[in-house]
Structure 1
Amino acid sequence: MADYSNELVGTSPAIESLRKLVDKIGRSPTRTVLIYGETGTGKGLVARMIHQVSSRAARDFVDINCAALPASLLESELFGHEKGAFTGAVDRKLGLVEAANQGTVFLDEIREMDLTLQAKLLTLLDTQQFRRVGAVKPVKVDVRFIAATNKVLLSEVTSGRFREDLYYRLQVVAVNLPALRNRGDDVLTLARHFIARFNRSYGRAVRGLAPETEDILQRYAWPGNVRELENLLERIFILEDENEILPRHLPDRILRSVAGTKDQPAQPVATDPTDYHAATEAFQRGLIGQAMSTAGGNPQEAARLLGLSRHALRHQMIKLGLLKA
């Protein structure tokens, strides 16, 4: 069995706290976990780590991307179907949930699940039972569900795109993954980790990063997070021959992004500089969005982070059009 804990690289306080949280959740009996994180932060890796330290580790870990299939096919993949349930169903098929009995099901991009299927998932979470498509009798299973999203689910609930009851059912235990830009020197630690890996897989002897390259990587915002860094370094291994990674090996978009940023204050959100109210509202939306993301969509925790009462935060979100009255 692969040891996925070795892939959670870093020594920042955020990562050290995450390791402890993953271990605590994995060893608990909880059947639902919700992972929040930007694209590329490692939600799938953390889900596998939770499974690996759990009592379910010897059983299957089933990974399902809810955005990869239309609702009708996703339901069949999850729950299976009986022979003759629909055109083309020539045999009974066991679903992935049934295959993962006593193990773990990872529902990536849970926000993309159809509302009707969300209702069926809620029933499964509450009863640990489901029906195959076209079946009459339910099937009972013992499964832990780990869901993941890069969306603020509470906003999706407000907009009607996600069921409120399912949100609160999944939100029992939430894990918030830090963005790479908030992990300090972990950028360089991860870079060295990937360089060592690619040296082995490509039969190379790249010494590492030039000091100027290190400076650029630390100043870059990494919108694609750890995955972006990994892909960048592999691209350099494929295309470049030097034994040290130099600034000229980096894409122009990264060089342009960090150009002139050293020792300069952060710039405000791009907007019409003459429109004070628009600029202020844009700034407030950004603050609230960041707080909600950090709080895993929990409005009470977001209000605490912002130094507001929950009522005041709700009023402000309605005012800014982030929440319906």
Structure 2
Amino acid sequence: MSYIKGRGAQHNTHNKFMQHQHEVLDNFLNYCEAENEVADTNKTSYLEIYPKTILNKVTSPDIGFSYSMNPYQGCEHGCIYCYARNTHEYWGYSAGLDFERKILYKANAPALLEKKLRSRNWQPQTILFSGNTDCYQPIEKKLEITRKMLQVLLKLKHPVSIITKNALILRDIDILKEMAALNLVRVSISITSLSEETRRALEPRTATIKKRLETVNVLAENTIPVNVMMAPIIPSINSHEILPLVKKVSELGATSIGYTIVRLNGAIGEIFTNWVRKTYADRADKILHQIEDCHGGTLNDSRYGSRMRGEGKIAEQIHAQFKLARKLYIKDKELPPLDFAKFDKYQTNQTTLF
């Protein structure tokens, strides 16, 4: 099959929970060509789902937040390395093309969020927007589910952290400015490269690098705390860009920088391997072997503590570069703490007697 433009994954992997496997045979493709028919329209479809809860408890010891919330399942951004791909299998889909072409959305998420935050036993805790899939992916422009959830958070003065690759977040700068004035929000912009060519290969339907850099600058100018996540670092693809990228985002107003090293768990290993052999055929083996070097000789790494940081010589080199970058460009900068004391589930705006 030829390269599918505008998509990350180049095929659908088998869903490990399904008994049967769907395979497109050459005979079918030849028939479609002969009949002048399209074998695959490559269109994105959207399906509303009706969850009963919106907050997901996070128990991982190496992730710094208590809950995540995801108004969407699947992500049209199509990032080839995305760890969330595996979760699409729980919905009966493939982690490959299905993940970026079959998007599930939760229109009732704002109501569910408000109900949870107003519940008797809820105490304010760190919540992350986009712990799984991007809350500002393209369909958000039309549905505005994320914006409505932000309005709930502002109304109840509950803090939140947001991570996104999309400049669409600037649409909600009015809400974010109000929240920032109360120390209720932090924003992380994910930027994996300064090269637009690399961006198009890794993250085909995300905002351009220029737009993301502008987003960092606009947020910072509006006193909204900005962190930049260079996640993930992929050896021999973007690992050489650490110092220039940190320098650039620091100049634009970012007050902190974070990173992870790529890990290819579950079906992602097969998806990434298929993609890298098509995209970087001249150095595919080198890339794969260097990723393995960061994870004890395997692409698949689920070990807490090391799965996102890696180990070995290459991981040590990446860590050293980030340490130097922070010293040179982010020294004496830090994100302000979120204020949990302002949370007011009853909207009394009065000081309690107890």
Q: TM-score, normalised by structure 1?
A: 0.30
Q: TM-score, normalised by structure 2?
A: 0.28
Q: Which protein has the bigger helix share?
A: 1
Larger CA Rg, structure 1 vs 2: 1
